[in-house]
Amino acid sequence: MITKKYFLYFPRSETEKPLVYHLVKDYDLVINIFRAKVTPDEEGYLILDITGTEENIAQGIAYIKTLNVTVNETVRGLRWDEDKCVSCTNCIVHCPTKALYIADQKTKRIAFDEEKCIECLSCVKNCPFNACTSVF
Ligand code: SF4
Ligand code: SF4
Protein backbone atom coordinates (compact mmCIF):
# COMPACT_ATOMS: atom_id res chain seq x y z
CA MET A 1 0.00 0.00 0.00
CA ILE A 2 1.18 3.48 -0.78
CA THR A 3 -0.27 6.96 -0.29
CA LYS A 4 -0.03 9.76 -2.81
CA LYS A 5 -1.18 13.36 -2.64
CA TYR A 6 -2.98 14.90 -5.60
CA PHE A 7 -4.29 18.26 -6.68
CA LEU A 8 -7.37 17.98 -8.92
CA TYR A 9 -9.00 20.68 -10.98
CA PHE A 10 -12.53 20.16 -12.31
CA PRO A 11 -13.94 22.24 -15.14
CA ARG A 12 -17.52 23.41 -14.77
CA SER A 13 -18.97 20.40 -16.61
CA GLU A 14 -17.41 17.85 -14.24
CA THR A 15 -18.06 19.16 -10.72
CA GLU A 16 -21.20 17.05 -10.22
CA LYS A 17 -19.56 13.69 -11.01
CA PRO A 18 -19.25 11.24 -8.04
CA LEU A 19 -15.54 10.79 -8.51
CA VAL A 20 -14.60 9.91 -4.93
CA TYR A 21 -17.38 7.33 -4.73
CA HIS A 22 -15.99 5.53 -7.79
CA LEU A 23 -12.40 5.66 -6.54
CA VAL A 24 -13.47 3.95 -3.32
CA LYS A 25 -15.96 1.46 -4.75
CA ASP A 26 -14.41 0.53 -8.09
CA TYR A 27 -10.70 0.83 -7.33
CA ASP A 28 -10.60 -0.11 -3.64
CA LEU A 29 -8.88 3.14 -2.69
CA VAL A 30 -8.95 5.03 0.60
CA ILE A 31 -9.48 8.77 0.13
CA ASN A 32 -8.52 11.48 2.57
CA ILE A 33 -9.76 14.87 1.39
CA PHE A 34 -7.73 17.79 2.74
CA ARG A 35 -9.57 20.59 1.04
CA ALA A 36 -12.27 21.11 -1.58
CA LYS A 37 -13.79 24.18 -3.15
CA VAL A 38 -16.28 24.98 -5.87
CA THR A 39 -15.92 28.53 -7.18
CA PRO A 40 -18.86 30.81 -8.09
CA ASP A 41 -18.12 29.83 -11.71
CA GLU A 42 -18.63 26.20 -10.64
CA GLU A 43 -15.05 25.15 -11.21
CA GLY A 44 -13.82 22.70 -8.61
CA TYR A 45 -10.55 22.19 -6.72
CA LEU A 46 -9.75 19.18 -4.60
CA ILE A 47 -6.66 18.23 -2.64
CA LEU A 48 -6.60 14.68 -1.40
CA ASP A 49 -4.51 11.70 -0.38
CA ILE A 50 -5.16 8.43 -2.17
CA THR A 51 -4.09 5.19 -0.47
CA GLY A 52 -4.06 1.80 -2.17
CA THR A 53 -1.90 -0.47 -4.24
CA GLU A 54 0.22 1.22 -6.87
CA GLU A 55 -1.76 -0.52 -9.60
CA ASN A 56 -5.16 0.51 -8.20
CA ILE A 57 -4.03 4.11 -7.77
CA ALA A 58 -2.78 4.18 -11.35
CA GLN A 59 -6.10 2.79 -12.60
CA GLY A 60 -8.07 5.23 -10.44
CA ILE A 61 -6.06 8.18 -11.74
CA ALA A 62 -6.54 6.96 -15.31
CA TYR A 63 -10.29 6.90 -14.64
CA ILE A 64 -10.21 10.46 -13.27
CA LYS A 65 -8.42 11.66 -16.38
CA THR A 66 -11.19 10.29 -18.60
CA LEU A 67 -13.51 12.77 -16.83
CA ASN A 68 -11.67 15.81 -18.18
CA VAL A 69 -10.27 16.46 -14.71
CA THR A 70 -6.73 17.84 -14.47
CA VAL A 71 -4.58 15.76 -12.13
CA ASN A 72 -1.37 17.16 -10.73
CA GLU A 73 1.01 15.43 -8.33
CA THR A 74 3.33 18.35 -7.81
CA VAL A 75 1.00 21.31 -7.25
CA ARG A 76 0.13 22.03 -3.63
CA GLY A 77 -2.73 24.18 -2.37
CA LEU A 78 -0.54 26.04 0.09
CA ARG A 79 2.31 28.17 -1.17
CA TRP A 80 5.08 29.47 1.04
CA ASP A 81 7.10 32.30 -0.47
CA GLU A 82 10.57 32.20 0.99
CA ASP A 83 11.34 35.68 -0.34
CA LYS A 84 8.43 37.21 1.55
CA CYS A 85 9.09 35.31 4.77
CA VAL A 86 10.95 37.43 7.32
CA SER A 87 11.18 34.54 9.81
CA CYS A 88 9.08 36.35 12.39
CA THR A 89 8.05 32.82 13.65
CA ASN A 90 4.44 33.88 14.14
CA CYS A 91 3.19 30.91 12.11
CA ILE A 92 5.06 28.28 14.10
CA VAL A 93 2.55 27.96 16.93
CA HIS A 94 -0.33 27.91 14.45
CA CYS A 95 1.01 25.11 12.27
CA PRO A 96 -0.34 21.82 13.69
CA THR A 97 2.03 19.50 11.83
CA LYS A 98 5.28 21.48 12.04
CA ALA A 99 5.30 21.83 8.26
CA LEU A 100 6.56 25.33 9.00
CA TYR A 101 9.46 25.03 11.35
CA ILE A 102 12.58 26.73 12.61
CA ALA A 103 15.36 25.40 10.41
CA ASP A 104 18.16 27.21 12.18
CA GLN A 105 17.96 27.87 15.92
CA LYS A 106 20.65 30.57 15.80
CA THR A 107 19.14 32.70 13.06
CA LYS A 108 15.52 31.53 13.62
CA ARG A 109 15.27 31.03 9.89
CA ILE A 110 11.95 29.39 8.93
CA ALA A 111 11.57 26.60 6.40
CA PHE A 112 8.61 24.75 4.93
CA ASP A 113 8.23 20.98 4.55
CA GLU A 114 5.38 20.57 2.08
CA GLU A 115 5.10 16.83 2.74
CA LYS A 116 3.89 17.59 6.26
CA CYS A 117 1.35 20.24 5.23
CA ILE A 118 -2.30 19.22 5.73
CA GLU A 119 -3.69 22.35 4.04
CA CYS A 120 -5.40 23.70 7.16
CA LEU A 121 -4.59 27.29 6.03
CA SER A 122 -3.92 28.40 9.59
CA CYS A 123 -0.63 29.96 8.46
CA VAL A 124 -2.41 31.96 5.75
CA LYS A 125 -4.51 33.65 8.43
CA ASN A 126 -1.56 34.16 10.75
CA CYS A 127 1.22 35.36 8.49
CA PRO A 128 1.47 39.16 8.70
CA PHE A 129 3.71 39.28 5.63
CA ASN A 130 1.59 37.33 3.18
CA ALA A 131 4.29 34.70 2.77
CA CYS A 132 1.71 31.91 2.99
CA THR A 133 -1.04 31.90 0.39
CA SER A 134 -3.62 29.50 -0.95
CA VAL A 135 -3.75 28.73 -4.66
CA PHE A 136 -7.57 28.59 -4.45
S1 SF4 B 1 4.41 34.16 9.86
FE2 SF4 B 1 4.94 34.45 7.69
S3 SF4 B 1 6.74 35.81 7.72
FE4 SF4 B 1 6.48 35.00 9.79
S5 SF4 B 1 7.81 33.17 9.84
FE6 SF4 B 1 5.77 32.47 9.27
S7 SF4 B 1 5.75 32.48 7.03
FE8 SF4 B 1 7.50 33.70 7.68
S1 SF4 C 1 -1.54 25.03 5.84
FE2 SF4 C 1 -1.58 24.31 7.98
S3 SF4 C 1 -0.26 22.52 7.98
FE4 SF4 C 1 0.18 23.62 6.09
S5 SF4 C 1 1.93 24.94 6.60
FE6 SF4 C 1 0.07 26.15 6.93
S7 SF4 C 1 -0.43 25.90 9.10
FE8 SF4 C 1 1.02 24.27 8.53
| pLDDT per residue as tens digits for the range 40-94 | 888 889 999 999 999 999 999 999 999 889 999 988 899 999 999 999 999 999 9
Q: Kindly report the CATH class assigned to 2-72.
A: alpha beta
Letter for the amino acid at 54?
E
Domain positions in the chain are 2-72, 78-134
Mean pLDDT value across the chain:
93
Instruction: Tell me the whole-structure pTM to 2 decimals.
Output: 0.84
Total length of the chain: 136
Tell me which residue has its CA closest to atom 4 in ligand 1.
Answer: 88
pLDDT in tens, 27-47: 999 999 999 998 888 888 999
Number of helices (H) and strands (E), helices first, in the chain? 3, 8
pLDDT band for position 124 (cuts 50, 70, 90): very high
Asked whether this chain's domains 2-72 and 78-134 adopt the same fold, the reply is yes
> Domain 78-134, what architecture?
2-Layer Sandwich (3.30)
**How many angstroms separate the alpha carbon of residue 16 from the centre of ligand 2?**
29
Q: Is the CB of 78 under 6 A from ligand 2?
A: yes
**121: helix, strand or coil:** coil
Q: Which residue's alpha carbon is at the smallest distance from atom 7 of ligand 2?
A: 95
